[in-house]
Amino acid sequence: MILAAAANENLAHISNVLVYSAMAVYTLAFLAHIAEWVFGSRSTVGRTAAAITAEAAPSVTVTVQKAGQGGGTAVLERPKVVTRSAPGSRDVPDGPGAAGTSEKGDLYGRIAVSLTVLAFALHVGGVLTRALSVERAPWGNMYEFSTTFAMAAVGVYLGLLAAKKNVRWLGLPLTTSILLDLGLAVSVLYTDSDQLVPALHSYWLWIHVSCAILSGAALWVGACSSLFYLFRDGYEAKLAEGRDGDGAWGNVMSRLPSAATLDKFAYRINATVFPLWTFTIIAGAIWAEAAWGRYWGWDPKEVWSFITWVAYACYLHARATAGWKGRKAAYLALVAFACYLFNYYGVNILLSGKHSYAGV
């Protein structure tokens, strides 16, 4: 019988220090992103959108001959009739990102991204030293899963930036989410570095859980895109109705990509990661058969993983159907991601099952 080695407390302590250091730098990045949005000047996109939508619904002049003595004519103006446009039907250009047209805003944005890269490096160091402290995968409990999930989410964001995608607008919600996730991890979910129970000593731990983490990180990006789509679509509808889109909120909305772009981006992200989430469930079933002698046992974690899969399958089907594009599909995407979050937090904390051995 081979006994598992005791945890290296020195490396575990270094891991904690690195995680806290990453949180401090993420906080600075968060403040820099706020400065980016505040000091970025008003973009011309809002005014362009207003002009475009105004031209789309011109008034019509009707001449009417008056009857009776005196004759003459009266000119009537047909009022504008504004209808809700389908996503992509408004010819509205993308906003230039969080920086707007301000050099100062762009400077703060570049500082924020640089700080995020530094925080990410510290974050990676914290996750790696945690793994080295016990010589296993660093996602054996909720604390480790949370820290690794946050690292993966930042990695996806930086990867999209490196691919020259216009996603800097994700920086503020990203740093906000990361700070909340890590804050919950170090305060409520923290677990001392230790070895796992025998059932978790399997190469499937590396495969199954890593896929779940990568899927969740990408699904988070898709959920943010759907949420911002709803805000941006409402802003564009306000402009289309001829209402004023100025003010602080309009300043923020005018810098985002157009509603059509956000809608497509969310769909592409979710469609790309859906096969990986499918494989995650299949890998979990294979591991369950090896560990417990059955592929599926309706454990709460298994049930909610399947519910999440069904929710995203419904979203993808609905999004590909013309009648469900836009806001309805976005709401469904957010419900699906809420299922993913409950599958992690709610099931692990509120429900009991075979996955409970991982601990909180």
pLDDT band at 173 (very low <50, low <70, confident <90, very high): very high
Asked if 146 contacts 178 with a C-beta cutoff of 8 angstroms, the reply is no
Top mean pLDDT of 46-55, 160-169, 351-360 is at 160-169
| Amino acid symbol at 349 | I
> What is the reported pLDDT for 353?
60
Nearest to 330 by CA among 259, 277, 274, 263: 263
Mean pLDDT of the chain: 82
**pTM of this prediction?**
0.82
What's the rounded Cα separation, in Å, for the pair 81 and 57? 7
pLDDT band at 316 (very low <50, low <70, confident <90, very high): very high
What's the rounded Cα separation, in Å, for the pair 303 and 89? 39
Which of the two residues, 119 and 48, has the higher pLDDT score? 119
> What is the reported pLDDT for 56?
47
- pLDDT value at 272 more than 50: yes
Asked if 130 contacts 193 with a C-beta cutoff of 8 angstroms, the reply is yes
Can you read off the two tokens belonging to residue 149? 């999930």
> What is the reported pLDDT for 232?
92
Phi/psi-derived region of residue 93, left when phi > 0, alpha when psi is between -120 and 50, beta in every other case: beta
Top mean pLDDT of 147-151, 254-258, 296-300 is at 147-151
Extended beta strands in the chain, E state: 60-65, 73-78
For 71-98, the pLDDT digits (tens) are 555 444 444 434 444 554 556 777 777 7
The CA R_g of the chain, rounded to the nearest whole Å, is 26
pLDDT band at 356 (very low <50, low <70, confident <90, very high): low
Mean pLDDT of 218-231: 94
pLDDT band at 244 (very low <50, low <70, confident <90, very high): low
What's the rounded Cα separation, in Å, for the pair 252 and 98? 8
Mean pLDDT of 199-210: 83
Which of the two residues, 121 and 87, has the higher pLDDT score? 121
pLDDT-above-90 percentage for the chain: 48
Which of the two residues, 200 and 216, has the higher pLDDT score? 216
For 131-160, the pLDDT digits (tens) are 999 888 888 888 999 999 999 999 999 999
pLDDT band at 323 (very low <50, low <70, confident <90, very high): low
Nearest to 109 by CA among 25, 35, 24: 35
Which of the two residues, 102 and 124, has the higher pLDDT score? 124
> What is the reported pLDDT for 77?
46
Can you read off the two tokens belonging to residue 87? 């996503």
Output the CA torsion sign for 6, 10, 14, 19.
positive
Total number of residues shown for the chain: 360
Nearest to 320 by CA among 274, 278, 282: 274
What's the rounded Cα separation, in Å, for the pair 238 and 339? 31
Q: CA angle 347-192-207, nearest 5°?
A: 55
Mean pLDDT of 218-227: 95
